[in-house]
Structure 1
Amino acid sequence: MGYVGILALILALFGVVVVVFFERSVTAQQDKLLMQQAKAETEIFLSGDDKYGGIKAKTPSDIAVVAVPPDGDIAAGALSLGDSSSSLGLPYEELVRSAALEKKPNQGTVDGGPDGAVRVISAPLNDETGEVMAVVQAAQSRAVVLETVWRLVAVLVAAGLAALALSAAGGMYMSQSAMRPAREAFARQRDFVADASHELKTPLALVKINAEELRRNPSTPDNREIVDDQLSEINRMDALLSDLLLLARLDSGRLEVEEKPFDLSVAAGEAAERFLKRAAAEGIRLEISLPGELPVRGDAARTGQILAALLDNAVRHTPEGGTVTVSGLARDGVAEASVSDTGPGVPPEHLPRILERFYRAEEARTRRGGGTGLGLAIARDLARAQRGDLTAANNPGSGPGAVFALTLPASA
C-alpha cells in the first residue's frame, strides 16, 4: 500500500469518527429541542382547561407533542393530531409507561414511525402528591438529523478526494525532488567508479608494458629507467587506493581522530615548507603570512593532511609566475588557515559543489595536472571530523584565483 493509500485509509477513519461524533452531537441537540418543546407543552397543560392535548407536525422538520395519561392508552384521533404522519405516530405507549413508572424522562429512537425512524422524548408530569398524572411526549422525524449528517458526509467526501488529489500531486513532486539528490549522488558515484577504474587501469597498463619489456630484454641498460617508471606508477596506484580506503573509513566512522591542543600556525607553516621546493621548480612563488600562534584543538597530523591537499590543489592550478599564499587568523572562537592562489579560480556554477565527494569541475579524461578528484572532499570530511569545516570561494578582489579556508575550534 502506497502512502496515498495509507492517507486514504487515515482520512476514511477520520471521516467515520467525525460523522459518528457529529451524529451524536446533532441527536443531542434534537433531544434538547424535544425536551424544550415538552416542557412548553407541560406549561400549557397545567394552565389550560383540557386534560390532554397535542401539537401537530405540519412539515417533516416540525415537532409533534402530546400529553397523555400515564398508561398511554389514548388514541391519536382523540387528541386532534390528525393522521399518523402529522402525529408522527404519537403516542408511543411503551415509552409513556416507562417514563411514568420510572418518574423521569426518557428518550429513544423508534424505527416504526409512519415515515421512518422517529426520535421521541417522554417527560412525566407529577401532581402535588408526586404521582404521575400525565406524560408529555415530543417527537421529531430522524430524517432531519440524517439529512444534516449526509450533508456532512458529502462535504467530507469532497474534501477527502480533494486532499487525496493534492497529496498525490504533492507526493509525486516531493518524491521527485527527494530522488533528485539520490540520482545525482548515484551519477557522481558511477562517474567516480569509472574515473577510479581509469586511474588504476593506466598505471597497471604501464607496469605491465614495462614488465614485458624487462622480460624480453633483461640486460638492457635502460632497465633502471623502466624500474623507476614502474615504481612511479605503483606509487600512484598506492596513493589512489589510500584515498579510497580513507573514504571508506570516514564513511564507516572508524577513522581515529585526535582532539588535542596544537598550534595551527606551526602546522600550516610546516605544510607550506614541504611545498617550497615543488613550487619553486614550477615557477610559483609560495608566500607564508601566519600569525605567531593559532592555538586550536584537533588532530595535528590530519590537519597537516588537509593543508597538504589544499597546497597541492593550489600549486596544480596556479600558472608559472603565479603566487600561492598561506595565511591565518583567529576569529569568533575559531582559528582559520587559508590557502589562496592566483590560478583561474573555480567556475561559479561549480563552486557550490567543488568540495563534494565524487565531484570535479573538470572531466577526468580531459583534466591536466593529475589528481583523482578526491583530495578536497577528503580534506573537508577530515575538517568536519575535527568539528571544524572547509570552505571554498573565489578571490574576493578583482584578481583571479580561489581561496580555501580551514577552520578549527580554538583552544582555550
Structure 2
Amino acid sequence: MNLDRLRLRLTLGYLGISAVILALVLVAAVVGFSRELIEQQDTLLLQEARNQSDNVLTGEHRPTLAEGSASYGWVALDPDAEVTESDPAAPALGLPDRDLARRTLEEDGPLSRTLGGESGRARAVSLPMYRDDELVGTLQYAGSLASTRERVVRLILILLPLGLGGLGLGALGGLFMAGRAVRPTRDAFERQRVFVADASHELKTPLTLIRADAEVLRRGLETEEDRHLADDLLGEVDRMDALISDLLLVARLDAGELSLSSEPFDLAEAAQRAAERSRQRARSAGVELATETVGSVPALGDAARTEQILIGLLDNALDHTPPNGRVTVRVSGGSEAACASVRDTGPGIPPESVPHVFERFYRADSARTSGGGTGLGLAIARDLARAQGGDLVVATGNAEKGARFDLTLPVPSSRLRGV
C-alpha cells in the first residue's frame, strides 16, 4: 500500500472540490456583476430614450448622451418600422432593430436587447412613442457595452489572483488534512507490517525443526504409504516456508529495508541462469522452455534480484502452461531500457483480472489459479522491479494466446559502459 500516493490523491480530491466550488462562486460573482451593470445601463438607456422621444415628438432639444458621442445612438421609426430620424452613431451600434421595434409595438411597452454592431456589442432599449394617445412609432436608444466589458474584465483580474491564492491555501490545507486522515492508516499499516515480519521470523524456527523431524521420521518408516505421508508433510512444510519467506520479503519491501544494488549487469545472462534453474521443472511438466536472446543486453540494477523476478515469472508461467505447451523467455535491449519478456501458452488471463494480477493475494477465478500459488509472487516481482527503477507489466491477457509479462530495467549510462 502506497500511503504517500493515497495522501496525494486525497489532497488532489480536496483541491479539486475546492476548485469547483471556488470556480462556481467566481462565475456566479462575475455573472451577477455583469447582470447588475446591464440592468443599470438599461435604466440609464430607458431614461435617455424617453428624453429623446420627447425631443422627437415636441421638437425640444434636451441634452442626451448621444450628442457628439460614438458610444450612444438612437433612431426613430414609424409604425411600419421605417426610420424617420436617426443619430449618426446609430448604424455602428446595430440600430435600427426592426424585430425589436415590432415586438415593442406588440407588447406596448419598453423592451431591451443586446445587439451586435460594427463597433462591437451594444445594449439597446426600445419604447413606443405616442402623440395625443396616438401611436406614432418607436424610439430605440443604444449604448456600447465596451465600458461594461472593461469593468467585468477588471473584476476578473481582481478575483483571479484571489482565487489562485485561495487554491494555494486550499492545497496546503488539503495536504495537512490528508496527512491527518492517512495517519491512522499509516500507523495501522506499520503495526501490521511489524506483526507480519515478527510472526514470519518466529515461524521460521519451528518450521525448520518440523522439517528436520519429518526427515528423520521418514528415514525410519518402512511402508510406502507411510513414506508418502511423510513426503506430503515435507511438501507442506516447504510450501509454508516459501510463504513465510515471501511475507518477510514483502515486509522488508514495505519498510524500505531491502538492500538492492544498482550496478551494470548482463540481463541476457540473468535470463539464461533463471531458465536453467527452471528447466528441470519444465521437463517434469512436459513443457518446452525456450530462451531467445541476441548477444549481451546491458542493464542497471541488482542481478540477483532480477534473476529472482525472472524465476518467479517462469514459475508462474509453468504453473499455468499445460503439457506440450511452451514457455519463452525473450531478452532485448535498447537505448532507453532493457526488457525481458516471459510468454506462456496457457489459458491466459481473463480481461477483468488483468488490472488486479499484481495485487497481493489476488487469484483470478480461472484456469490460471490451478498452480496453487499464494498470490504474492507477481506482487513481489513488480515491487522488486520498481525498486530497481524498472517496472513489470502484463503485456497480453488474451485467453487464446496465453499471457506475457514484460520486465523493463534501466540501462547503464555511457559513462558506466565505458563508451
Give the TM-score normalised by structure 2.
0.46
TM (normalized to structure 1)? Answer: 0.46
Which of 1 and 2 has greater Rg?
Answer: 1
